[in-house]
Amino acid sequence: MQFDQLTLDGDVSEEVIRPKVTTLDILGEVKVREKKIKGVLQNVTRVSTGSIKVEGKKEADTSLHNVGELSH
């Protein structure tokens, strides 16, 4: 199954999104131009199997890496 991408233009503001978007199901990738818009969308997200990314910003790597060995 393939999901697509939604890109919000730079002129889409928080004032436009808040009254018009009440819920959001993210099954693919959503690209926004401002971190503030990412926060607005995260607040209305109902289902998220995809991601919201700020264009032009490198996302921090939040994956876990091997940090050692467990012993008894």
Domain ranges of the chain: 5-54
Q: Give mean pLDDT, residues 2-17.
A: 87
Question: What percentage of residues in the chain have a pLDDT greater than 90?
Answer: 67
| Type of residue at 7 | T
Q: Give mean pLDDT, residues 12-40.
A: 93
pTM of the model: 0.70
Distances (CA, A) of 58 to 10, 53, 62, 66: 18, 9, 12, 22
Buried b (16+ CB within 10 A) or exposed e, 12-37: eeeeebeeeeeebebeeebebbbeeb
Say if residue 49's pLDDT is above 60.
yes
Say if residue 59's pLDDT is above 60.
no
Q: Give mean pLDDT, residues 55-67.
A: 64
